[in-house]
Amino acid sequence: MADAKVCTEFAPAKVNLTLAVGRPRADGYHPLDSLVVFADWGDWLEVREGDSLTLSLEGEAAAPLRGEPQNLVLKAAYALRAAAERPELTAALTLKKTLPVASGLGGGSSDAAAALRALNRFWDLGFSTRQLAEIGTVVGADVPACVHARPLRMAGIGEQITPLVAWPQLHGVIAHPGAALSTASVFRAFDGADPDPLQAGPVPAAGDFASAVQHLKAGRNDLEAPARGLEPLIEATLAGLAGLDGASLTRMSGSGASCFALFETGAAAQAGAKALRAAYPDWTAQAVTFGGAA
């Protein structure tokens, strides 16, 4: 995928299968405990030689980002260059955006993680995945998890990563009703309910679909209730997913408004996505596979 001239990297959608959140710490950050997986659907980043460090955007989904002077991709590039102590390094980056912005799918963080992985190869820096994840902590709380891009348990404020050694590949449908939801506003609503301190659970292990669903049903997304209070379309999205044939579990991802449903087979997920698109043509409904533990 890489040579001296071009390097490409996939930035998969991140889905929080569970998300437990505690009351904010003294520094304002929220402790969390989340089971995270990554889909075979996402954005693409392309890196070429350039005279400086630049970023261009492609795709209809990139429209909300065009007014930003510097998004997380460039922030990650600068952070990597600083960590390498190589300020002379340059590259021309192109982000081909597919994932909806502000949708609870970690698109910006995954794009930043893709930049770290791609530029590490493009610039031949030799950083390990663990080192890239550490560099990612200065870019955003979700970036370290996205650097790993495999089933994992994310704790602390996102920097504590535990890869899952036993987690199955899962089939699902991701649905987004078209509403952009500010993460900050969801957390403000969450804090307004005076949340309890976080009680972290054990690292999960599930060898097959049935045991994974059983484990997940014991979990939750603590941001779902405050997000539903801010955006009524989340309720409709969850109901639409729950009504699909074969949907075993439905939940909101991250801070919303995207939601997901899990299915036992890829065929059931494909049929579910098709039915949801027919019923709600203005929504995004994507059948996906969440990769299992390596």
Q: Which amino acids are annotated catalytic?
A: 14, 142
Task: Report long-range pairs for 84-90 (Cβ below 8 Å, ≥24 apart).
Answer: 84/123, 84/125, 84/127, 86/123, 86/125, 89/53, 89/123, 90/49, 90/50, 90/51, 90/52, 90/53
Say how far apart CA 100 and CA 108 lie, in whole Å.
Answer: 10
Query: Which is it for the CA torsion 214, 216, 217, 219, positive or negative?
Result: positive
What the block records as the tokens of 95 is: 């982000």
Say how far apart CA 233 and CA 282 lie, in whole Å.
Answer: 12
Say how far apart CA 55 and CA 74 lie, in whole Å.
Answer: 7
